[in-house]
Structure 1
Amino acid sequence: MSISSGRKITRIFGAELDKLVTLPMIRLTLTVTFILNFVIAAAYTSVALQGAAGTQSILDTGLASMGYLQAGFIILGILAACSEYTGGQIRTTLTVMPWRGVQLSAKMLALAMITIPAAFISAASGVLYAFIMLEGKALMTEIDTVILTLAGATGYLTLTALLSAAVGAILRRTTPAVVVLLSYYFIVSPLSRDWLPEFFPDKAGQIMYMRHSSSELNVLPPLQGAAILMSWTLVLWATAVACYRNRDA
C-alpha cells in the first residue's frame, strides 16, 4: 500500500526529532549549557550588586552571558548535523530515507523545535535571576521590552544553532566545524569589532536582543538584523543541501 508524500515527510520529521531527542550528547550539551550560563549570569549579577559595573538595566545584566551562551548552541547545531557521520550511521539513514534534501530539512526543523524552548529557558533564566537579585537596585525595563528582547535572544540562539548545523553538514566532521565557528565567533569577530560590518551573522544577530541598549551596536533595526542572520542561515542551508545531494555519504 503506497504512502502519501505528506505522510512520508511527517515520518521523516518524526524520525529526525526522535534521533535528536534521544541522542545523549544533545541532552548533555543542553544541560551543561544551561548550568554554565546560569553560573555566568549569577557572576555578572554579583558584580552588578557590588556596583562594579555601574548602573545597568536588568536586561543588560541578565543577558550579559549571551556571548558565552551562544557557544553551547553552536556546538549543539554541529552535533546535530555531524553525529551520524561519526559511526557511519548516515549510511543507514540514507538507505531508509533516500530523499536527502527532505531528510536534511527535517533534521533542521527538528533541531529548531528543540532549540527554541532551550534558548528561551536559558536566556530567560539569566534575566529572571537578575530581576530577583537586583530588584530596586538596577534600572527597570518595561515588560513589553523584556518580552521582545527575550524573543530576539531566542531567535538569535536558534538561528545560530541552525547556521552551525548547516556548516556542520557541509564539513561533515565535528572538530573542524567547531574550530571554524568558535574561531570566528570568539577570535575573528571580536578582534575585528571596529571594521567588520554589521552584515555578518553574529553582529547582525546581536541586534535582535540588544534593542533596549543605547550602544552604538544598534545601527540597524532588530528586524533587519534578524533578516540578515536568517539570510546567512538560508544560504548556508541551501549550500549544505546541495553538497549533501551531490556527494557520497
Structure 2
Amino acid sequence: MRVPSSKKITLILGAELGKLITLPLTWLTLIGTFILNLFLAAAFTSVGLQETAGTQSILNIGLASMGYLQAGFIILGILAACSEYTGGQIRTTLTTVPWRGLQLSLKHLALAIVTIPAAFIIAASGVFYTFIRMRDTATGLEIDTMLAAIAGATGYLTLTTLLSAAMGALIRRTTPALVILLGYYFVVSPLTRDLLPGLKRYLPDTAGSYMYMPLSSEEVNVLTALQGTGILMLWTLLFIIVASIFYRRRDA
C-alpha cells in the first residue's frame, strides 16, 4: 500500500523525534550544558562586577560562555547521528524507512526541533543572570538588543548542532567524530585565526560568532549578523548534502 507523502513525512519525523527524546544521553548532555552555562555565567559576571561595566560589556559577559557551550551542542549533534550505529539499530531504521535521503533530512529537522528551545533557554539563562547581577550598570540596554543577541546565539548553537550531526553521519563513529570536531573548534580554528587572519571570518565558528556578539565601533573588516548567519548556514548545508550523498550510497 502506498503511503501518502505527507503522512510518510509525519511518521518518519515522529519516529526520529521519539528516538531523540528517549535517548538518555540527549537530556544528560543538555542538562550538563545548562549547569555548565550557569557556572560560567556566575564566574564571568563576578569578574565583570570588579570592572567598569556598560551596556556593551553586559552582553559580552553574558555570552562569554558560548565558546564553551558549543562543545555540549557538538556532542548532542554527534550523539544524535551516531547513537544508532553503536548497537546496530541503524539496520532496523533503514529496513523500515528505505528512503535514506528523506530519513536523514528529517533526522536533522527533529534535531533542530529539540535544539532550538534548549539552545534558547541555555543562552538566555546566561544573559539574564548577568543582566540581573549587573542591572545597576545596565543603563541604556534595550530589550530588543538583548533578545536579538539571544536569538543569534540560539541560531548559532542550532546550526552548530546540525553541522555536527552531519559530521557524525559521515563518520558514523562517536569518538572519531568528537575528536575531529572538538579538535577543530578548540585547537585548529584558534590557530588558524592567528596564522591566517584574512581567512578567519569565513570559518564556521568565527562567522557564526557574529550572529550574537555585539560589535565594537573600533572593529573593522567584520561581518554583519546576517552575513555571519549566511556563511554558517552554507557550511551546515554543505556538510548535510555531503553526508546525505554518502548516506545513500554506502552500506549501513
Q: Which amino acid aligns with 1:18?
A: G
Count residues in correspondence.
Answer: 248
Q: Which moved further from structure 2: 204-213 or 145-154?
A: 204-213
Shift of 1:57: 2.5
Q: Match for residue 233 of structure 2?
A: 230
| Offset of residue 169 of structure 1 | 0.4
Q: Which amino acid aligns with 2:210?
A: I
Partner residue, 1:243: 246
1:73-106 per-residue CA deviation (whole Å, 9 max, x = no partner) reads: 0110000000000110000100111110011001
Query: Partner residue of 2:60?
Result: 60
Corresponding residue SS for 1:193? helix
Q: Tell me what 2:180 maps to.
A: 180
Structure 1-normalised TM-score? 0.95
29 and 182 in structure 1: CA distance in 2 versus 1, 3 angstrom threshold: same
Residue identity over aligned pairs, in percent, reads 67
Q: Contact between 1:57 and 1:141, CA under 8 Å: does it hold in 2?
A: no
1:201 maps to amino acid: P
Amino acid at match of 2:97: M
Task: Give the TM-score, by structure 2 length.
Answer: 0.94
Where does residue 79 of structure 2 map in the other structure?
79
Q: CA deviation at 1:200?
A: 1.1
Residue in structure 1 matched with residue 170 of structure 2 by the alignment: 170
- Structure-2 separation of matches of 1:116 and 1:138: 27
The partner residue of 1:205 within 184, 205, 208 is: 208
> Residues 81 and 172 of structure 1 are in contact (CA less than 8 Å); yes or no, is this contact kept in structure 2?
yes
Q: Would you identify which runs of 4 or more consecutive aligned residues in structure 1 move more than 6 Å? A: none
Q: 1:218 to 1:7 in 2, by over 3 A?
A: farther
Q: Determine helix, strand or coil for the equivalent of 1:198.
A: helix
Tell me the distance in 1 between the aligned counterparts of 2:41 and 2:119: 14
Deviation readout 1:9-62 (Å, 9 max, x if unpaired): 1100000001001100011000101101110111001111122x7655321111
Contact 2:63 2:213 in 1 (8 A): no
CA contact (8 A) 2:123 2:153 kept: yes
Opposite residue 58 of structure 1, the aligned amino acid is I
* Corresponding residue for residue 127 of structure 1: 127
- How many angstroms apart in 2 are the aligned matches of 1:84 and 1:221? 38
Amino acid in structure 2 at the alignment position of 1:64:
A
Question: Judging changes above 3 Å, is the alpha-carbon distance between structure 1 residues 27 and 214 closer, same or farther for their aligned structure 2 residues?
Answer: farther
Could you say what secondary structure the match of 1:208 adopts? coil
